[in-house]
Amino acid sequence: MPPEWARTPRVLAAMRHAAELAEGVRGSTSPNPPVGCVILDTAGEVVGSGATRPPGGPHAEVVALEEAGARARGGTAVVTLEPCAHTGRTGACAAALRAAGVGGLVYAVSDPNPQASGGARELERAGVAVAGGVLAEEVSGGALRGWLHFVRTGRAHVTWKYAASLDGRSAAADGSSQWITSAEARAEVHRLRAKCDAVMAGTGTVLADDPSLTVRDEHGAPVPEQPLRVVLGDREVPAGFKVLDDVAPTLRLPGGDPEGALRALAERGVVEVFLEGGPTLAGAFLRAGRVDLVQAFVAPALLGSGKSALGEAGVVSISGAWRFYFERVTMCGPDVWISAVPAEG
């Protein structure tokens, strides 16, 4: 357990604030992790805060130190991820903290990247009081979730999102699907898309629905920074379809193999994938064991027939069901929003 000085109300509040800062930049930092940092002065007051900037820009610790200035000396840096000890396009964060003269470092999650880890040890050797593991479970399930998964597995973290009726239908018998869920749910989906590096759909969904696969604001206008659009499959997408416009970049990946697609995306530094494509693609990723998080929006409506939200998933008996754990269940307008992760074992 972290020492008592690293678990005071002010330090815990600072860590939660740092986690909020990290969540605010999620989707803009890949392949670097989205990190938040808060600097407390010797009296425990917040004097600096910041989050990692896009690649090539300063990391969270440097942003927070710039704001804190001389008041960082003797204070405590509270960071969601262990400061890096690696010099790449930017300098090592551990060196920046040491140069600023901080007296303490509190971090939530140890850096699993062998190329960058070691910052905590470096600062400890320099005489800085160091405590790790503070709110580790809470922080690792937030903005860092996808990046930690990427570093530990070498593949992107996959979120499957679907919208369905109470009886699990994503479209009515005539194929109509707009809109099963509410405007509130659709707005939330755009916020979730914005936090990912890539939005993926299969050619079947693209040809049937002509989705834009972009992030739009509350007025329906595309936001300036867009995730990569990925279209998986062999069927041609004719000119004029929305995924081929210039609002966002689009990558075509032939075949329907989830493993191959994720390898190709990993080579491009894609850390988080938002799976939007219909029931066939969702079934393929589930059969491959490559669904890491489900974001389900369930409308208070019954259709009785029509397209299922999930296609062939490789289940022939109840004993083979894919089991998930509900992380979060809440209302989103009139709809139920469920966040679920695969159950262990």
Please give the positions annotated as active site: 61
Query: Is the previous residue joined to 5 through a cis bond, with omega within 30 degrees of 0?
Result: no
Whether residue 220 is annotated as binding a ligand: the answer is: no
Whether residue 193 is annotated as binding a ligand: the answer is: yes
Q: How far, in Å, CA of 192 to CA of 201, rounded?
A: 15
Whether residue 170 is annotated as binding a ligand: the answer is: no
Whether residue 156 is annotated as binding a ligand: the answer is: no
Count of alpha carbons within 13 angstroms of residue 257, beta-carbon side: 6
Whether residue 173 is annotated as binding a ligand: the answer is: no
Q: Which residues, including other chains, have CB under 8 Å from residue 299's CB and lie 6 or more apart?
A: 163, 164, 165, 166, 180, 181, 182, 185, 334, 335
Whether residue 216 is annotated as binding a ligand: the answer is: yes
**Which whole-number Å values give the CA distances from 67 to 14, 72, 159, 345, in the listed order?**
15, 9, 35, 46
Whether residue 179 is annotated as binding a ligand: the answer is: yes
Whether residue 117 is annotated as binding a ligand: the answer is: no
Whether residue 188 is annotated as binding a ligand: the answer is: no
Whether residue 160 is annotated as binding a ligand: the answer is: no
- Enumerate the H helices of 219-311 as residue ranges: 258-267, 279-287
Whether residue 203 is annotated as binding a ligand: the answer is: no
Whether residue 163 is annotated as binding a ligand: the answer is: yes
**Which whole-number Å values give the CA distances from 2 to 87, 106, 113, 271, in the listed order?**
28, 9, 22, 30
Distance of CA 213 to the CA centre of its chain: 17
Whether residue 256 is annotated as binding a ligand: the answer is: no
Please return the burial class of 336, using the count of CB atoms within 10 Å of its CB with bins 0-12, 13-18 and 19+: middle
The amino acid occupying position 49 is: S
Smallest Cα–Cα separation from 295: which of 202, 190, 175? 190
Whether residue 196 is annotated as binding a ligand: the answer is: no
Q: How far, in Å, CA of 250 to CA of 241, rounded?
A: 12
Whether residue 276 is annotated as binding a ligand: the answer is: yes
List residues bridging with 228 in a β-sheet.
Answer: 198
Q: Which residues are annotated as a binding site for substrate?
A: 177, 193, 213, 216, 276
Q: Which residues are annotated as a binding site for NADP(+)?
A: 163, 179, 205, 209, 278-284
Q: Which residues are annotated as a binding site for Zn(2+)?
A: 59, 84, 93
Q: Which residues are annotated as a binding site?
A: 59, 84, 93, 163, 177, 179, 193, 205, 209, 213, 216, 276, 278-284
